[in-house]
Chain A
Amino acid sequence: MLQNRIFKRFAKNKTSLAGLLLVCFFALVALLAPLLAPADNARNPYQMPQSSYAIEPQTPSSSHWFGTTEQQYDLFYGVVWGTRLAFKIGITVTFFAFLIGLFVGAAAAYFGGKTDEIIMRLTDVVFAVPSLVLAMVIAAMLGPDIKNMMIALTAVAWPSYARLVRGDILSVKQRDFVTAARALGARGPRIMLRHILPNSIYPSVVVASLDIGYIVLTAASLSFLGLGAQPGTADWGQLIAMARNWVLGTSGNTLAYWHTVFIPGGAIFFFVLGWNLLGDAFRDILDPRQG
């Protein structure tokens, strides 16, 4: 019943369908990456192959569909495997951040009192610095590579989920069925696991999963600043960082290297756009004020 209504409202909205299509398209590219752009080095497919060591980027041609960027890294290969890497980063970070947030938020709501106060002050600390800045500093201290970047992103992402989960649990805790379960003699852990969590977790799961676009955007920013993926990695932020040296073009054609920014930039743009459109649609659907 409920799902049917959500689905109907979802299908009616053209922009949300566009968002869904975009996300599905990128997911397909990520899944089919080994077929779309066969890796030379199967052990580390995220390392982009170089056709030569010449510095100057080459415009799109039949051998390089999207052209090459600095040092002849193939942009098509980079964008395709970059999609896979984006999903990998987005899903891993969201999963772990949500898991931590779930535990911490549930603990805060369950124990209440002092524990709650301490945990919430801890989230305040993380919120006290812009997330990009904090992630940047943590990634720098840990040393720039993709794994450390994911740790840094997880470290700044979990507090918002902890707050979300805590709030949801606190509101569900007041409901009659919880009192009923307690009256029937169920004990604390059982009430928490069997009654409260299953009824409070879903909105947070939806919100968290829709954050994937934002996580990927922050990850790309870190890579762009040189604090994430290293040169030669098929990572969108890294590809754009390489384009920084080529904004000026040649003396004859000032826009000669447009593709070095446009192609990886377009990939990020449409990826984030897809998630944002999807997120808007879900927020509209989940908003109870709309009839």
Chain B
Amino acid sequence: MFNYVLRRLLLLPVVILGVTFLLFFLTQRLSPEMRASLYIKDPRQMGSLEEVIQKYGLRDNMFKQYGRWLGNALEGDLGYSQSANMPVAQAIKAYLPATIQLAVVTIVLVVFFGVWFGCVSAVKKDKWQDVLARLFSVGGFSLPIFVLGLLLLMLFYGKLGWFAPGGYSVYTDAVVHGGSFHSYTGFLLIDSLLNLNFRVFWDVLSHLVLPAVTLCIGSFALMVRVMRSSMLEELGKDYVRTARAKGLSPWQVTYKHAGKNAVIPVITLASIQFIRLLGGTVIVETIFEYPGIGRFGVIAAQQLDIAGIMGFSLMVAVLFVLGNLLSDILYTAVDPRIRLD
């Protein structure tokens, strides 16, 4: 187990180097002039293009340039993001908490409703509840999140006016950047509670509803499926028959006995899905104009903001690899039959 974790951690730098080098290699397809022009904002300064190329060494050997980027990155300097108008490191620090917040709320929704629907579906096998849950699950797999997101916006923002896009309202923006609001963790949901400002808390939470519901659809469909089959398997086992024979109530048999065991694969799946959500946040945050890291990445990609793209990919790769490792460890913790080696 210890060896496994160590080996995976040693592999982390290899993977990170691979990803960043691959992307850096791609940026070299752009001519030095094109890359230099990213540093220039005022069109009147275009004459100084050659100066910029010299200053940043954009004509150097690719490996030399990559080494320079890597050296700076190790010191925490990821360059300046033109699209976000701030240093990349600062942008990541500003946007990441909002994305983690969204992912946490989403995974809570996924686990809660996934386990519930899956359980009901298994207990009422082949009845209408089951058919409905299975239809939901097949449909959820096939509905692209950008279609669902737009439909929800149309209904709940356009028609009903319940929720608005964005990360928070103007009121919250004024409070948060007002001065008397202390930022303890960077997570607005937690900070607002610590500041005892419940209006901000509700505001942030209500802005999370639509993105979270949209983001959860794919994972939710998977969760229902896994919970259903896991529950069906447990319900067929001997100890459940024993429990029934003892005269326990059906509720106790299904939820206290079978349910507890059936939920194990769901928990491990949830930890994997939590990491997978990162990919989806890119689309969801763009649709709902939610100020998170995914939207930052999309805008950087659209505007060909090289420093932004590199920083974003680096961060996603680190999160993804560490997250996968964590879910592997969790896997062994929940199910002792599995050994990592």
Contact = CB atoms under 8 A, between A and B. Distances in A.
B139 interface: yes
9 contacts: A121-B14, A136-B301, A137-B309, A221-B283, A224-B146, A225-B283, A225-B301, A254-B158, A272-B143
Contact of A225 (B19, B282, B313, B320): B282
Given A130-B320, A132-B279, A247 B153 contact: yes
Given A129-B320, A227-B302, 20 more contacts: A15-B138, A125-B14, A125-B18, A132-B280, A140-B302, A141-B26, A141-B309, A217-B144, A221-B146, A225-B283, A225-B301, A243-B150, A247-B157, A248-B158, A249-B154, A254-B154, A255-B158, A265-B144, A273-B139, A280-B138
A277 interface: yes
A225 B15 contact: no
Contacts of B287: 244
A47 interface: no
A269 interface: yes
A20 B153 CA distance: 32
Given A141-B26, A247-B153, A249-B154, A132 B147 contact: no
B142 A276 contact: yes
Nearest to B14: A121
Contacts of B108: none
B257 interface: no
A141 B144 contact: no
A248 B154 CA distance: 6
A138 interface: yes
Contacts of A134: 313
B154 A128 contact: no
Given A124-B15, A129-B19, A273-B138, A221 B144 contact: yes
Given A220-B144, A225-B298, A265 B150 contact: yes
A121 B17 CA distance: 12
Contacts of B317: 128-129
B279 A133 contact: yes
Contacts of A277: 138
Contact of B302 (A130, A225, A276): A225
Interface residues of A, number: 48
B297 interface: yes
Contacts of A139: 301
Contact of A272 (B142, B150, B279, B302): B142
A2 B280 CA distance: 40
Nearest to A268: B144
B301 A137 contact: yes
B147 A240 contact: yes
Contact of B18 (A128, A132, A138, A213): A128
Nearest to B221: A276
Which has the most chain A C-beta neighbours within 10 Å: B14, B27, B138, B304? B138
B318 to A, nearest CB: 9
Contacts of A25: none
A287 to B, nearest CB: 12
A276 to B, nearest CB: 5
Nearest to A227: B301
Given A129-B320, A244-B150, A272-B142, A140 B15 contact: no
A131 B144 CA distance: 15
Contact of A130 (B14, B27, B157, B279): B279
A129 B318 CA distance: 9
A207 interface: no
A248 B279 CA distance: 27
Given A133-B316, A225-B298, A276-B142, A138 B283 contact: no
A227 B302 CA distance: 7
Interface string A256-284: 00100110010011101100110010000
Given A125-B19, A128-B18, A276-B142, A137 B158 contact: no
B91 interface: no
Which has the most chain A C-beta neighbours within 10 Å: B16, B150, B320? B150
A237 B14 CA distance: 35
B26 A142 contact: yes
B321 interface: yes
Contacts of A224: 146, 283
A140 B305 CA distance: 10
Contacts of A273: 138-139, 141-142
Contact of A137 (B11, B16, B147, B313): B313
A272 B157 CA distance: 27
Contacts of B280: 132
B256 interface: no
B45 to A, nearest CB: 25
Contact of B150 (A124, A240, A255): A240
A265 to B, nearest CB: 4
B37 to A, nearest CB: 15
B298 A136 contact: yes
A62 to B, nearest CB: 25
A286 interface: no
A270 to B, nearest CB: 8
Contacts of B44: none
A24 interface: no
A232 interface: no
B320 to A, nearest CB: 6
Contacts of B27: 141
A181 interface: no
Contact of A276 (B11, B141, B301): B141
B154 to A, nearest CB: 5
Nearest to A223: B146
Contacts of A136: 282, 297-298, 301
Contacts of B147: 240, 261, 265, 268-269
B146 A247 contact: no
